């Protein structure tokens, strides 16, 4: 079973979205073997669909129709966690000043400062920063893929455990401290100790071992939000935008090109029939379709290959290892039990939240934030649609980030002044 037991952070590099395939399940056969009424049906529908092209309502074959039907449900199943993550990040940014304070500290991944006078120099520095960051990410990803290829599982597990330890304990401790300071509450060390210890330990158990699915999903969302907040605080402004763009391009390349590291990871995992480290992937709910066999007796391991995400964890001040987010849906297994659920890499969560959070922190007002939010959801929707059509691992970052960036800049610089002018001059359209 693909319980996510593994580490969480896998942000960056690749976000591959993989669809859950509709299995040709025995339970569907009655519908499919419906001869007469649907005999003309499929022909008509196919003709219609060829005119309209693939779309959510396109009625292709029964199988593909089932796949697309799943698509709608899965879209909702992914909208909710992505929305939650972004809501947490935006709420924190808007209420707690700490994450938007100017700081001279920078991550070692963005060594070039942006305190330059001239625009050209600042732009150059942000491009250089993004080159440094992306190359670190590429190196880390390739390192992880090598480790995976040569079966150094212990190393990978240790790395992931260390990174999730840091996230769950240290970052949440800092977050809690800022929260209390912001609301001017007194809190004592023993209580804080108990709180953080409980939060962290149960998080480790849920993510790396076994735990209730919803709790695990909640923890993955929380750590993605924490990571996104760290990024928002410590990445300089212009560099953030350039990095977002660059990482989407990298994601595209890494997942789709034949020699891309993420694709190699996916294929290796598929060859070995192993699940990818679940801690790096968010898996939306599971719908188990049981065939004839008794599940208790014949529970078999998922023969679905699941994409594994290479990821490392990012540490704020010391030496973050960028983690890749890969998203994968799990193809349905042939045998008795199949799990149908879409998986989205944590990196995707993190970068979506970084985009929306940065828009909330530096953009004009709520217009910009909402526009970016809507853009990302639309991008996610389109990506899932493509996933339903292509049925293989896809990068989830490019479309959403592209839309998000376009919407951010256009809203901030075009729509916002337009609306303000309209309001000032009392002109209603």
Partner 1 sequence: MNLERVSNEEKLGLCRKYYLGGYAFLPFLWLVNVVWFFQEAFIKPAYTEQLQIKAYVKWSGLGLAIWVAVLTTWITIYQHYRAQWGEVGDYLSFTIPLGIP
- The catalytic site residues sit at 251, 348
Q: Which two tokens stand for residue 206?
A: 């849920």
Nearest CA-CA partner of 408 in 381, 373, 380, 382: 373
**307 φ, ψ (degrees, to nearest 5):** -70, 140
Of these, 131, 202, 378, 389, which contacts partner 1 (CB under 8 A)? 202
Min dist CB 186 to partner 1, Å, is 5
Q: How far apart are CA 206 and CA 304, in angstroms?
A: 22
Least spacing, CB of residue 118 vs partner 1, in Å: 41
The distance in angstroms from the start CA to the end CA of the chain is 55
Task: Give the interface segment with partner 1, choosing from 102-110, 112-120, 126-134, 294-302 (CB under 8 A).
Answer: 294-302
Q: Does 120 bind partner 1 (CB under 8 A)?
A: no
Determine if 413 is a binding residue for partner 1 (CB under 8 A): no
Q: Going by C-beta distance under 8 Å and a sequence separation of 6 or more, which residues neighbour residue 41?
A: none
Q: Please give the Cα distance from 327 to 83 (Å, whole number).
A: 17
Burial of 17 (0-12, 13-18, 19+ CB in 10 A): buried
CA 211 to chain centre: 21
Rule CB under 8 A: choose which of 41, 56, 158, 295 binds partner 1. Answer: 295
**Which among 31-39, 256-264, 288-296, 370-378 is the span making contact with partner 1, rule CB under 8 A?**
288-296
Which string of x and - marks every residue 299-338 that binds partner 1 (by CB under 8 A)? x-------------------------------------x-
Token digits for 168?
């769950």
Question: Does residue 257 bind partner 1 (CB under 8 A)?
Answer: no
Q: Which is nearer to partner 1, 147 or 192 (CB)?
A: 192
Residue pair 287/341 in contact by the 8 Å Cβ criterion: yes
Shortest Cβ 303–partner 1 spacing (Å)? 15
- If one asks whether residue 414 binds partner 1 (CB under 8 A), the answer comes out as no
Cα separations in angstroms, 298 against 84, 288, 293, 366: 37, 14, 6, 53
Taking the CA atoms of residue 152, residue 155, residue 156 and residue 157 in that order, the dihedral angle to the nearest 10 degrees is: 120
Residues 205-224 touching partner 1, rule: CB under 8 A, are 205, 210-213, 215
Binds partner 1 by CB under 8 A, chosen from 51, 101, 115, 188? 188
Binding span for partner 1 by CB under 8 A among 98-106, 145-153, 293-301, 388-396: 293-301
Q: What secondary structure letter does DSSP report for 170?
A: I
When asked if residue 76 is in the footprint of partner 1 (CB under 8 A), the reply is no
Of residues 363, 44, 91, 352, the one with CA closest to residue 228: 352
Name which position in 46, 149, 181, 272 contacts partner 1 (CB under 8 A).
181
Q: Which residues bind partner 1 (CB under 8 A)?
A: 1, 3, 177, 180-181, 184-192, 194, 197-199, 201-202, 205, 210-213, 215, 286, 288, 295-296, 299, 337
């Amino acid at each position: 079973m693909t319980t996510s037991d593994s580490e969480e952070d896998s942000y960056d590099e690749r976000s591959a979205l993989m669809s859950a395939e509709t299995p040709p399940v025995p339970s569907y056969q009655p519908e499919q073997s419906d001869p007469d009424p649907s005999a003309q049906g499929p022909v008509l529908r196919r003709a219609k669909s060829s005119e309209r092209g693939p779309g959510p309502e396109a009625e292709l074959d029964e199988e593909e129709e089932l796949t697309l039907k799943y698509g709608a449900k899965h879209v909702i199943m992914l909208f909710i966690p992505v929305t939650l993550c972004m809501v947490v990040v935006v709420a924190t940014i808007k209420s707690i000043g700490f994450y938007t304070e100017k700081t001279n500290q920078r991550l070692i991944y963005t060594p070039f400062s942006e305190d330059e006078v001239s625009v050209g120099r600042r732009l150059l520095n942000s491009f250089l920063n993004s080159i440094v960051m992306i190359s670190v990410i590429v190196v880390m990803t390739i390192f992880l893929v090598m480790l995976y290829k040569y079966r150094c599982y212990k190393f990978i597990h240790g790395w992931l455990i260390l990174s999730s330890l840091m996230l769950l304990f240290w970052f949440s401790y800092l977050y809690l401290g800022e929260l209390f300071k912001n609301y001017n509450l007194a809190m004592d060390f023993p209580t804080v100790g108990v709180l953080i210890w409980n939060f962290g330990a149960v998080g480790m158990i849920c993510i790396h071992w076994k735990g209730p699915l919803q709790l695990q999903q909640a923890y993955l969302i929380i750590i993605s939000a924490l990571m996104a907040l760290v990024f928002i605080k410590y990445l300089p402004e212009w560099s953030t935008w350039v990095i977002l763009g660059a990482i989407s391009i990298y994601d595209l390349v890494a997942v789709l090109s034949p020699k891309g590291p993420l694709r190699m990871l996916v294929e290796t995992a598929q060859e070995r029939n192993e699940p990818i480290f679940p801690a790096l992937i968010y898996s939306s709910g599971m719908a188990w379709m049981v065939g004839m066999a008794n599940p208790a007796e014949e529970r078999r391991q998922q023969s679905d290959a699941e994409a594994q995400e290479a990821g490392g964890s990012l540490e704020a001040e010391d030496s973050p290892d960028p983690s890749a987010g890969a998203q994968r849906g799990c193809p349905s297994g042939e045998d008795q039990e199949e799990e149908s659920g879409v998986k989205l890499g944590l990196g995707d969560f993190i970068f979506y939240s970084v985009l929306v959070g940065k828009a909330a922190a530096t953009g004009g007002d709520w217009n910009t934030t909402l526009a970016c939010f809507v853009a990302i959801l639309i991008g996610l929707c389109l990506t899932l649609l493509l996933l339903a059509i292509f049925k293989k691992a896809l990068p989830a970052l490019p479309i959403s980030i592209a839309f998000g960036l376009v919407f951010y800049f256009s809203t901030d610089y075009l729509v916002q002044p337009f609306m303000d002018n309209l309001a000032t001059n009392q002109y209603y359209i």
